[in-house]
Structure 1
Amino acid sequence: MLPRYRTALTIAAIGFNEGYRYVDWLLTVPLLLVELVAVLALTRKAQSRLLWMLVPASILMIVFGYPGEISSDMATRTIWGILSTIPFLFIRYVLFVELTKSLAVQPVQVRRTLSKLRWLLLLSWGVYPIAYLLLSFDIGADGWVYKQVGYSIADIIAKAVYAIIIYQVARTKSFIEDPSFARVEEGHAGEKAPAASRR
């Protein structure tokens, strides 16, 4: 009799292609890292150094994770999971260290937001390996469901919430560097008020 996790993987493979999620990650994760490095406004040399570390590592993390994700063999899944974890831990370490370093040179108005972003990255990215490991606990088809729910929650936090924070940081910095942005936004808000009052 097959272990329950193999049965779950077989059932899941009939109705769901895990490749779609990995293709999405292959596109969005490097882009999110590029956005983060860009909003830190580091020197060009520092930005280039970070991107050459983070983008290849993110691609390796996703490429290594996929063979294990689709495998019904526990040994294969474990080996590829470990290989994927190496660049995963490297990325988390670099991001946390670099974000911490950058706080000293960031405007006071965005330091607290960037500090929160460090913890958001650590916590949200930490969900992915946990979800990946769920099928290893022989909990049947429920494990596959929990894994997909975990991935989806982590995606919402690590992408949507992350993007909103990045937008807030970029917006605040724009106002600080060029007050005309704030005046333009105030002008738009003033234009909307009469229209609302006429209703």
Structure 2
Amino acid sequence: MIPDTLTQGQYDTVYNFLSLVIASQLFTAVFLVIAMPRILPRYRQAITVAIVVCGIAAYHYFRIFDSFKEAFVSDAAGGAGVYTQAVGASFNEGYRYVDWLLTVPLLLLELIAILALARKVQTSLLLRLLPAAALMIILGYPGEMSDDNMVRGIFGLLSTIPFLYILFVLFTQLTKSLASQPASVRRTLSQLRFLILLSWGVYPIAFLLPILNIEGSDAWVAMQVGYSVADILAKAVYALIIFYVARMKSYDDDPEFALRENSKEDAAVYARR
């Protein structure tokens, strides 16, 4: 599905979105490292996982970015602003699957950690969700790499089974856990279910484009933009929401901690005046 040529506008669009993802993941990780002391220790495991997820994503997007720049070069003979695939180089879509194989299970661990459920429930969820996440990515990879729509369709269907299972477990478990969560975060956690559905839903849509005979440079650029936006939502925005939940739960668990933190914020505001 990788096009032979890109216009200047198409090239710039992919270039800028890849750059945006790198900045989003990298500086979200930096923020979380700095802000870690602003939550109680019991919630820092979730934030540590979020930092690792954003770091892994930033690294792989650097690799994707370099692969893109090497794969498409300006073709002076084709006219100004035309980019063609370089001889001996190709855009490596496999970097995304390596990234997802590592980050998707960690995203699930991140969510389970912040819910602070009973240890038995946490263990049960991890044993069900982490293998399903790995299986989803592993099954999707052969289809993504294949030029045969039948092969792509078969592996797409197979990877959809664990995908739907994960969404089902997450929605049912999040719904069950809401009653035991502090009132200050119930609405946020409820909305988090739909962020997961929205961001994860982009991937199967992009996977289906070649099967639906939606091809060409415009479709490929749209897929890269979709993947980029989905990764920002699923990792950076998701991590910031998890941090917010951790902060609110820290306040609820320890009123003295909340008082100290609010006093620091009031002092910072006063100092800026």
Shorter-chain-normalised TM-score: which range?
0.7 to 0.9
Q: Does 1:67 align with 2:67?
A: no
Distance 2:210 2:2 in 1: 8
Classify the secondary structure of the residue corresponding to 1:123.
helix
Aligned to 1:174: 250
Aligned to 2:221: 145
Q: Does 1:84 align with 2:159?
A: yes
Aligned to 2:117: 42
Letter matched to residue 171 of structure 1: R
Equivalent residues, number: 192
TM-score, normalised via structure 1 length: 0.88
Distance 1:61 1:192 in 2: 46
Preserved contact between residue 149 and residue 210 of structure 2 (Cα < 8 Å): no
Preserved contact between residue 61 and residue 85 of structure 1 (Cα < 8 Å): yes
Preserved contact between residue 58 and residue 88 of structure 1 (Cα < 8 Å): yes
Question: Alignment partner for residue 28 of structure 1, among 70, 79, 103?
Answer: 103
Preserved contact between residue 7 and residue 140 of structure 1 (Cα < 8 Å): yes
Q: CA deviation at 1:155?
A: 1.0
- Percent same amino acid among aligned pairs? 61
Distance 1:14 1:99 in 2: 45
Preserved contact between residue 6 and residue 73 of structure 1 (Cα < 8 Å): no
Q: What's the Cα RMSD here?
A: 2.2
Unaligned 5+ residue runs, structure 2? Answer: 5-84
Unaligned 5+ residue runs, structure 1? Answer: none
Question: Alignment partner for residue 195 of structure 2, among 93, 100, 120?
Answer: 120
Aligned to 2:169: 94
Letter matched to residue 130 of structure 2: V
Letter matched to residue 83 of structure 1: L
Aligned to 2:182: 107
- Specify which structure has the higher proportion of helix: 1
Letter matched to residue 177 of structure 2: S
Which range moved further: 74-83 or 138-147?
138-147
Letter matched to residue 164 of structure 1: L
Distance 2:191 2:106 in 1: 20
Distance 1:6 1:78, change over 3 A: farther
Q: Deviation per CA, 1:102-147, whole angstroms, max 9, x where unpaired?
A: 1111111111111111111112211110011112232323222221
